[in-house]
Chains A and B, each alone.
Chain A
Amino acid sequence: MSNSIDQIYDEIILDHCKNPRNNRKIHKPNIICKAVNSFCGDEVNIEIKLSSKKIITLTGSKSLGCAINQASSSMLSEVLYGKSIEEVFNLYNIFNCMMKENTVPKKASEQLGYLKNLKIIKKNPIRIKCCLLPWTALINEIEKI
């Protein structure tokens, strides 16, 4: 396989796209996040269960569309586990900053973990939207809480 394409779809992205994690609907979710991108038909459906202390204890992600949207949704559904709403906002800000601006302070970037792999999508700017779609769907919903 040629090397160049691996600069857009690295191993982790492909793995999440082919084997999406938390690919399920959950029982009585507290938060349901939906979004569509009519440009390409991407669809995000993320469901979240919160504990009484407002900690995320369960997620389901059934997203459709391109590899980048699917991978980003799947990865998001994993990193949400155990986080408080506040922590999610914080992570979103760092992630958004990485995807839209140039540098993220090193300390902040450590919090991103494997989400850092999604940075390569910036080489293909038209696809950044696909990557951010699950995040914007999530933030739109939790802002209402």
Chain B
Amino acid sequence: MLDIKKIRNDFPILSREVNNKPLIYFDNAATSQKPISVINSLTEFYSKYNSNVHRGVHTLSMESTDLFEEARNRVAKFINSKNSESIIWTRNSTEGINLVSNSWGRKNIQPGDEILVTAMEHHSNLVPWQILADINKAKLVILPINNDGTLNLDEIDTFINSKTKIVSAVHMSNSLGTINPIQELCSKAHKVGAKFMLDGAQSVPHIPTDVADIDCDFLVFSGHKMLGPTGIGVLYVKPEILEEMDPFLTGGEMVLEVSYEKAKWNELPMKFEAGTPNIADAIALGEAIVYLENIGMQNIRNHEIELTEYALSKFKSLDKLTLFGPLDPLIRGGILSFHSEDIHPHDIGTFLDHEGIAIRTGHHCTMPLIRSLNIPATSRASFYIYNTKDEIDYFINTLGNAIRYFTDVK
């Protein structure tokens, strides 16, 4: 059991009011709130250590480099990466996927090859592959889903075949909440000699992640969804692939030796980190990881299973709502996407906002998926460590009021 009261006290924003009501923050899939230790880490860096990394011989530069590399080591340990060279700083998940599709992808995808993604991908794990397929004359193949929002694996051996060169899949869907059987996808990909890339934007913040165990070739995630600041993300790349990958962005920091004619790439992982990196935010992400580890990722997952189970049971009291995604909390994250025939999601969003509840409404950057459900948009509530059953009660109650408000005819 988590001590939620204590956790909540660590998040200054949770004591503010919205429209004269206590804030209930259920938009964690979009971005999480930040504990005071992360916020303090940012001011501390700028007040005490601020300087560029890997460049100066002066004290500040050495100290900031140490803090920066320590944060990298923390990330490596957090996802059980054997070495920290495999951890490349990016701005976010989106940049990580673009790095892979541009660097590994352009070099290794041949005309006629197949790239497989699922029907529930975020635009960030779809559009870069569309472009790569277009440029390299490859075929982008979409793995379909079942009505319950799980992947349809009936013909998986046709979808992952000898032409498949990379499979890139979301671990936890940000629109449906579905947790996909990534282990199976990864081993199927490896069996045909394809690479496996995992979009961990929603999973890494909420469930224990072990890259050695999953055996994925690439993993991306975003700091801002896991208590860290915006503007910092991570790309993990398996060591043997890193060596043969070309840089994506070029310039300072990523070179070892430069003449007017050519350049020699810096060591890993700097080869992939052109320009001055986001130093303060990387260090603050390290603090966020310390915070998560102190609570324990399995405890976080258990808490969210409990909240999800509770919310799913409460949802049954609301008729006129369709809930998307699997109903088994063991294969679903704390993400509830729903729709009402009679009320547009934006009206629900506005109504709840007036009662202090923040949810997301829209297509959640999964337009093709939402279109396939034949609805314009969904409303989405998503939970994190600081959310409680009391908040869910208030949310369900308010949602009931919203439905009556918009559908009762005078």
A66 and B344 contact, Cβ closer than 8 Å, known pairs A1-B405, A5-B405, A17-B406 = yes
| Minimal beta-carbon separation of A91 from chain B (angstroms) | 26
Answer yes or no: A132 CB below 8 A from chain B CBs. Answer: no
Determine whether the beta carbon of A2 is less than 8 Å from that of B376. Answer: no
Determine whether the beta carbon of B347 is less than 8 Å from that of A4. Answer: no
Determine whether the beta carbon of A41 is less than 8 Å from that of B405. Answer: no
Binding site for A on B (CB under 8 A): 19-20, 343-347, 350-351, 354-355, 361-362, 375-377, 401, 405-407, 409-410
Question: Which residue of A is nearest B342, CB measured?
Answer: A18
* B347, B401, B410: the one within 8 Å of A67 (CB): B347
Determine whether the beta carbon of A66 is less than 8 Å from that of B347. Answer: yes
A2 and B354 contact, Cβ closer than 8 Å, known pairs A17-B406, A39-B362, A40-B346 = yes
Q: In the complex, A130 Cα to B407 Cα: how many Å?
A: 19
Best-surrounded residue of A1, A40, A69, A127 (most CB of chain B within 10 A): A40
Answer yes or no: A124 CB below 8 A from chain B CBs. Answer: yes
Determine whether the beta carbon of A40 is less than 8 Å from that of B19. Answer: no
Q: In the complex, A112 Cα to B88 Cα: how many Å?
A: 59
Answer yes or no: A82 CB below 8 A from chain B CBs. Answer: no
Determine whether the beta carbon of A8 is less than 8 Å from that of B354. Answer: yes
- Give 1 or 0 for each of A67-79: 1 = CB within 8 Å of chain B CB: 1110000000000
A-B contact count (CB 8 A): 61
Determine whether the beta carbon of B376 is less than 8 Å from that of A41. Answer: yes
A4 and B377 contact, Cβ closer than 8 Å, known pairs A18-B409, A127-B346 = no
Q: In the complex, A68 Cα to B351 Cα: how many Å?
A: 12
* B344, B354, B377: the one within 8 Å of A5 (CB): B354
Determine whether the beta carbon of B346 is less than 8 Å from that of A4. Answer: no
Q: 26 interchain pairs (CB within 8 A)?
A: A2-B355, A4-B19, A4-B355, A5-B351, A5-B354, A5-B405, A8-B350, A8-B354, A9-B347, A9-B351, A9-B405, A14-B405, A14-B406, A15-B410, A18-B406, A18-B410, A39-B362, A40-B344, A40-B346, A40-B361, A42-B344, A65-B344, A65-B376, A67-B344, A124-B350, A127-B350
10 interchain residue pairs of minimum CB distance: A41-B376, A66-B344, A5-B354, A66-B346, A67-B347, A4-B354, A66-B347, A40-B346, A41-B377, A65-B344
| Minimal beta-carbon separation of B340 from chain A (angstroms) | 12
| Minimal beta-carbon separation of B220 from chain A (angstroms) | 26
- Give 1 or 0 for each of A100-129: 1 = CB within 8 Å of chain B CB: 000000000000000000000000100100
Enumerate chain A residues within 8 angstroms of B350, measured Cβ to Cβ.
5, 8-9, 124, 127
Chain B, interface SS category: mixed
- Give 1 or 0 for each of A3-16: 1 = CB within 8 Å of chain B CB: 01101110000110
Within 7-41 of A, Cβ neighbours of B (below 8 Å) are at 7-9, 14-15, 17-19, 39-41
* B20, B343, B345, B410: the one within 8 Å of A40 (CB): B345
| Minimal beta-carbon separation of B131 from chain A (angstroms) | 21
Determine whether the beta carbon of A1 is less than 8 Å from that of B409. Answer: no
Given A65-B376, A68-B347, 10 other A-B residues pairs in contact with their CB atoms under 8 A:
A4-B20, A8-B354, A9-B347, A9-B350, A9-B405, A18-B406, A18-B409, A40-B345, A67-B347, A69-B344
Enumerate chain A residues within 8 angstroms of B409, measured Cβ to Cβ.
18-19
Enumerate chain A residues within 8 angstroms of B401, measured Cβ to Cβ.
1-2
Q: In the complex, A124 Cα to B349 Cα: how many Å?
A: 11
Q: In the complex, A40 Cα to B19 Cα: how many Å?
A: 23
Determine whether the beta carbon of B376 is less than 8 Å from that of A40. Answer: yes
Within 49-69 of A, Cβ neighbours of B (below 8 Å) are at 64-69
Determine whether the beta carbon of B362 is less than 8 Å from that of A40. Answer: yes
Question: Which residue of B is nearest A40, CB measured?
Answer: B346
Enumerate chain A residues within 8 angstroms of B375, measured Cβ to Cβ.
41
Determine whether the beta carbon of B377 is less than 8 Å from that of A40. Answer: yes
Enumerate chain B residues within 8 angstroms of A40, measured Cβ to Cβ.
344-346, 361-362, 376-377
Enumerate chain A residues within 8 angstroms of B376, measured Cβ to Cβ.
40-42, 64-65
Q: In the complex, A101 Cα to B280 Cα: how many Å?
A: 41
Q: In the complex, A2 Cα to B362 Cα: how many Å?
A: 25
Enumerate chain A residues within 8 angstroms of B344, measured Cβ to Cβ.
40-42, 65-67, 69
Determine whether the beta carbon of B354 is less than 8 Å from that of A130. Answer: no
Enumerate chain A residues within 8 angstroms of B347, measured Cβ to Cβ.
9, 66-68
Enumerate chain B residues within 8 angstroms of A15, measured Cβ to Cβ.
410
Q: In the complex, A68 Cα to B344 Cα: how many Å?
A: 10
Q: In the complex, A66 Cα to B362 Cα: how many Å?
A: 12
Enumerate chain A residues within 8 angstroms of B362, measured Cβ to Cβ.
39-40
Enumerate chain B residues within 8 angstroms of A65, measured Cβ to Cβ.
344, 376
